[in-house]
Amino acid sequence: MISYQWCSELDSGDRDEVLALVAAAAEYDEEAGFSRIHPGDVTSTSRDGVRVSHLPIKARKDLSARDDAPLVIVAYLHLQVDGEGLGTVQFVVHPDYRSRGVATMLVEEIGLGTTADGDWERTGAVALRCWAYSTHPASERLARRFGIPAVGRLWTLFRHLSGPFAIPLDEVAAPEGITTGDARPLGDPAVSRAIDEVLDAASLVPAQRERLADEIRLGSGNVLVATDSSGAKVGFVWSDPALSTHLELDAASVRALVLTETARGAGLGMTLLTMALGALRDAGAQIALIRIDPDDAGAVRMCRLMAFEQEGEHSCYQVGEWAEAPSFRVRPGETSDESCPTLI
């Protein structure tokens, strides 16, 4: 009932159809806060030791049994495999074809063996990871059916910035010896250098840094950088004032908050987050969204103190062996205040 063929680059017809599918899915899923496949991933190709594979999944229109019914793309899988054979999967089904067994059929036909012939489907992947967002029942059923374990979690939190449920933002001052300038656009050369300097001193696991670098490369918004008395960059917060609809309100996002190891525990994280929330409020956002690792006690405590509420939970599923924790998580045992980036 479905057909598929791996390719290193989508041809023009399939590319346009997949881009339309991704756009339709993003609009449909906006309220639920699901992950969105970035259009840049659809057009991406292998680079710098990272192998990219695309899998458009086709079926007869309306899943018709008639041979003369046209073939349309009903789902799309994007696979990125690093030099160690670790594959990151993004998968989306067109809204018109959800809850009709497309994902189940794909797994049944392709399988999940990552050891046959040395890898999965000859893509070079010896292990696979995929995030499922907003505790979607379909992903939970699929994982149970095929025995796919969850190895990581995220929470989406929200905070009212205006309206009757909003708690005023407290005035905050940076810790002694720390200064913050004005927020500058992501992509500004000075901002890029500051981000690199902070990441170099933040002791992130490689997968975590790589994921954040990808988010920054494809993202938009503004970055506020903190500097110590010696001129060293010791932290930044990245927020995106672009408005979307969430809980029937205008929402904007805090995309990342990162501190160097030496800057943690002094209140700088709360200072930067408060300033970012103020900027989102002034840009017209009624609520702010943020994602955190619920196992990071410091991040959870800080967000609770700042009146964030939990709205959804997300799970990372894994097939095969993978030495590192999911890229949103810190090293096991690291639970100090503000020890990991908050991502959305």
Cα–Cα distance for residue pair 130/319, rounded to 1 Å: 9
**Tens-place pLDDT, residues 161-199:** 999 999 999 888 899 999 998 999 998 999 999 999 999
**Tens-place pLDDT, residues 310-319:** 887 888 899 9
Q: How many residues does the chain have?
A: 344
CA count, 13 A, side-chain hemisphere, 97? 25
pLDDT of residue 179: 94
What DSSP state is assigned to residue 324?
A: S
- Report whether pLDDT(35) > 70: no
pLDDT of residue 134: 67
Averaged pLDDT for residues 286-311 = 90
pLDDT of residue 324: 76
pLDDT of residue 323: 78
pLDDT of residue 28: 83
Classify residue 163 as exposed, middle or buried by CB count within 10 Å of its CB (0-12, 13-18, 19+). exposed
245 in helix, strand or coil? strand
Averaged pLDDT for residues 54-74 = 95
- Report whether pLDDT(333) > 80: no
The mean of the pLDDT values for the chain is: 87
* Whole-structure pTM value: 0.72
Shortest CA distance to 261 belongs to which of 284, 289, 232? Answer: 232
- Report whether pLDDT(27) > 60: yes
